Structure 1
Amino acid sequence: MAFIDYYKVLGISKTASANDIKKAYRKLARKYHPDLNPNDKEAEQKFKQANEANEVLSDPENRKKYDEYGEHWQHAEEYEKAKQQEQYQRSTSNQYGGYSEEDYSDFFGSMFGGQSSQSRGQHVKFKGQDFNAKLELNLKDVYTSHKRTLTVNNKNIRITIPAGIENGQVIKIKGHGGKGVNNGPNGDLYIEFSIRNNTAFKRDGDNLYVSVDLDLYKALLGGEITVDTFDGKVKLTVKPVTQNGTKVKLKGKGFPKYKKEGQFGDLYVTYNLKTPIKLTEKEKELFTELSKLR
């Protein structure tokens, strides 16, 4: 995964002041905000990068670490401890004719991915870099659990996607990030899910919502209608004199509950009353009679 230069993301120099960082971030946040760029994946990515850059550079302590260690800034404390330890070992070894300056340089080369085999600092282990990936799926894809193969860093990874996963949810795949340094553990892979809803249903957690048209005669007299659920059709009994906007709950006909096998939310059906567009002369007469009765 490529290293992201936070200064470049915000369009500022490394000597930028805190106020410069704030101004640059606000400008980009307004430009690429998802509300102003609906369904624009590139704008969404730039918005996230600007947020990430601002979080790091607006914090003086994190910025100092970033300036010194770059992409490894999150491991700054580990590097500092290792550095202090190495300095101590170096001073002790030099006292008895041990380490040379070249050995000392090799140690830090190994920490940042170098391949020197002479440095005695190679016993210091560091976790590899965490990777972030985004997986776009349709709502129907996450109605049932299924397996999928992802390609990350030129490697195929087979994962199980549990039913009911939420839009924006992030899961961690342990050990599938960057390779560890000096035989340290690998980093982890964080997958963010982007769920596209191209159905007639609105999802809110485990519950689903849908509107169905109800003709005037069924609304007045009652009867039976067939409505779509997410996994099939069901028949509903409409009560006489049903009002527009009436909501009916179908228990257990909603979305699967995340990692709760066999459990589902509810489906809420809202009736949208449809009046006739054209009336025959006979219908007009009948409605006129009805109006007199009322």
Structure 2
Amino acid sequence: MSTERPGWAPDDVDLDRPNAARVYDYLLGGSANFAKDREFAGRLLEIAPDAAKLARGNRAFLRRAVNYCLRHGIRQFLDIGSGIPTVGNVHEITQRTEPSARVVYVDVEPVAVAHTELMLAGNENAGVVRGELLEADELLGSEPVRRLLNLDEPVAVLMVSVLHFLGGNEPYGAVARYVDAMASGSYLVISHIAAEDSEEQSQARNLYQKDAVPIVGRTRAELAGFFAGMELVEPGVVWTPEWHPEASDVVVEPQLSRGLVAVGRKP
């Protein structure tokens, strides 16, 4: 049994099994990860040497999408599957432009929640919930959501790099529940691993299947299915670097990003 348990790590964290959120934190250059996470990331980088660059590209999409929502009047954000805090968190992006913007983070990983609680100390316009994306009613009824978000007004619901950890049809029903709860003029933001048959992609999926959390790639049509009843923002479902690119972004050939993204608006 590993003894590498820092004081900030909750007691129920399994240090002997890699975790997808902590691996992502490591790829982004964070420090809230353990030896097993770093070992797993090392094997992933052997298979997919650009994995860290792709993680940063996904983070850049989050920034662009949040800024798009801000420009279109959104002042409240629900970030589901928010992960471990790193540079460019949603409340940092939003409150830099609009100090009164309200943000609720949601994650199932206890390390992510513990770090988010520390980061948000003293911030009255942001909160965190430990919860599951699939438990929509419980999450929407949680105290931080009820206290900080008014679902009678437009909201942006962010599901960035989380839905590919959930297989089958159940996620479609859960996402539909969030959309139903949104007011007209709200936005849904999704990024997702693409369904590809490359050797690299297959090996990476097998690695996650064996040691962390299974990953389910989805096609463009399958990703579009999450936006039923919504209007897709141009340019629709595209490779990660193709959605409203900015000059400061990491340059990645679109298809090599391995990820599909889209933003939808509720009429």
Structure index of larger Rg? 1
Query: Which structure: greater strand fraction?
Result: 1
Give the TM-score band, short-chain normalised. under 0.3
TM-score, normalised by the number of residues in structure 2: 0.23
Which structure has more relative contact order (CA 8 Å, sep 6+)? It is: 2
Query: Which structure: greater helix fraction?
Result: 2
TM-score, normalised by the number of residues in structure 1: 0.21
